[in-house]
Amino acid sequence: MDLIGWVIFIVALLVSVMLHETGHFVLAKKFGMKVTRYFVGFGPTIWSTWRGETEYGIKALPFGGFVKIVGMHSLDDPDDPEDEPRAFRSHPAWQRILVLAAGSAMHFLLALVLVFGLALGVGIANDNVTQLGAISPCVPTSLTAYDNGTCGSDAPASPAKLAGLRAGDTVTAFDGHPVSTFTQLGDAIRAVPPGSSATITVRRDGKLVTLPIKPASVSGRNGSYLGIGPAVLFQVASPLGAIEYSGTTFGQVLTGSAQAVAALPGALPKLFAKNRASTSAGQVSSVVGAAEATGAEVASNAGWQYKISFVLLLIASLNIFVGAFNLLPLLPLDGGHIAVIVYERIRAWLARLRGRPDPGLADIAKFLPVSFGLFLVIVFFSLVLVFADIVNPIKLTGG
């Protein structure tokens, strides 16, 4: 099941890449630009075929994709001078900007469709409840057993089972601290060291019941362990409710993404900390970490609604982040190329005010050192995140 989760994530990632490139491709064709290549991946070509003037293919490394449009910048001359009228640079600025922005637009559209479909089909999760779902029968003897939800023959009974907790119980307080969400419950559990005595109050059959409980610990996992899981309730939304939920989710992910990127430099030293999950480094992850989270969720004992919701929201969040990041006004991102076009138009406007001719295209060669430097920074941060997610993956605490 863990492998299935990885496959789901990788396929979703490739689909996202293809949609991004399709956005560029479709609008470029629409405006009459000459597109010579449409490829998924980088590196050696595995397969390709020609359809008209365009070569379609798959590369060996599935880490992105590209569309080759003739005359993308001042350094890109058409192989055939007769193609100059169809070159990207020969078209109006507004058409070029739309072609460049189309990739991110496809990411945003995919994310909104996924979230909208989730709200209409599966429902919106109500996390503001503390009703218990599955009760683990044991304390996992290792982190692997915890991730897989398995119990060995020598595994001790879980604190939840020993305390007599049942699926359907609604927790109202832990160790005397009232709770109304699972986030609050997790915080209250973490405040009690493993092995110490505590109490948990639940509403059962309309009555409040207080039970003694002694939190345990799982080797290699931060925080106390009870062996409880939430019974997340899902409510199918109306079309208007789904639209509202999609917009709200989009805004929240966009804001969270900006905060995560801003916090990344400060989080770097904490990526390899033992308590990474409880630091700012627990809020950032690479595609490896996202794939690992997808695999773990699919392999978990959570209900099907929770699994689908988790996977779809993760894929939607990834697309929102990539779409927004790609629009940053920095080369070699699409947003950087848009910024160059805007710069060209402002420069042309100023020239007209002075009665001078249009200076034309910006010399992209002047931007190459900055572009290359930014590329190295992106590669550095990406590799560090991937390495951290391999050697020090994020492990959730609580429960």
**88 within domain boundaries:** no
With respect to residue 41, please indicate whether it lies within any of the assigned structural domains: no
290 and 347 belong to one structural domain: yes
264 and 147 in one domain? no
Same-domain pairing of 169 and 279: no
Give pLDDT, residue 397: 47
- Are 222 and 357 in the same domain? no
Pick from 231, 249, 271: which residue ends a domain? 231
Question: Quick one: pLDDT at residue 10?
Answer: 84
What tokens were used for 82? 């007769």
Which ranges of the chain have pLDDT less than 70? 1-2, 74-79, 127, 143, 147-149, 220, 275, 277-282, 300-302, 395-399
**For residue 176, is it within any domain?**
yes
Residue 224 forms part of a structural domain: yes
- The verdict on 270 and 139 lying in the same domain is no
Q: Are residues 221 and 283 in the same domain?
A: no
Q: Tally Cβ neighbours within 10 Å of residue 73.
A: 17
Q: How many helices (H) and strands (E) does the chain have?
A: 10, 10
Q: Is residue 186 part of a domain?
A: yes
Domain assignment present for 399: yes
Of 231, 249, 278, at which residue does a domain stop?
231
Last residue of a domain, one of 183, 201, 231: 231
| 184 and 140 in a common domain | yes
Gap between the Cα atoms of 236 and 42, Å rounded: 41
Q: Are residues 247 and 193 in the same domain?
A: no
Q: What residues does 211 pair with on adjacent strands? A: 200
**Do 277 and 363 have their domain in common?**
yes
In our burial notation (b when 16+ CB lie closer than 10 A, e otherwise), range 126-160 reads: eeebbbbbbbbebbbbeeebbbbbebeeebeebbb
Number of structural domains the chain divides into: 2
The burial class, CB within 10 Å (0-12 / 13-18 / 19+), for 239 is exposed
Give pLDDT, residue 306: 80
Residue 65 has a pLDDT of 83
Task: Answer whether 0.85 is exceeded by the pTM.
Answer: no
Look at residue 50 and tell me if it is in a domain. no
Domain limits for position 108: 93-124+238-399
Is residue 227 located within the same domain as residue 247?
A: no
Cβ count near 332 (within 10 Å): 15
Cβ contacts of 226 within 8 Å, gap of 6 or more: 158, 159, 160, 165, 189, 200, 213, 215, 216, 399
| In a shared domain, residues 254 and 314 | yes
Q: Is residue 37 part of a domain?
A: no
Active site residues: 21
CATH number for 138 = 2.30.42.10
Residues 293 and 381 grouped into a single domain: yes
